[in-house]
Amino acid sequence: MNPRRLIPLMLLALAACQPAAPEQNAAAPLAGARIGGPFSLTDQNGRTVTERSFPGSYRLMYFGYTFCPDVCPTDVASIAAGLKQVEASDPTLAAKVVPIFVTVDPERDTPAVLKQFTAAFHPRLVGLTGSRDAIEAAKKAYAIYAAKGAAQPGGGYLVDHSRQTYLMDPDNRPIALVPQDKGADAVAEAIRQWVK
Name the burial class of residue 134, with classes exposed (0-12), middle (13-18) and buried (19+) by CB atoms within 10 angstroms of its CB.
middle
161 marked among binding-site residues: yes
**Phi, then psi, of 44 in degrees rounded to 5:** -65, -10
How many alpha carbons fall within 13 Å on the CB side of residue 191? 33
**Phi, then psi, of 88 in degrees rounded to 5:** -70, -35
- Cα–Cα distance for residue pair 113/64, rounded to 1 Å: 13
Q: Binding-site residues, please? A: 68, 72, 161
Could you list the residues known to form a binding site for Cu cation, using ranges: 68, 72, 161
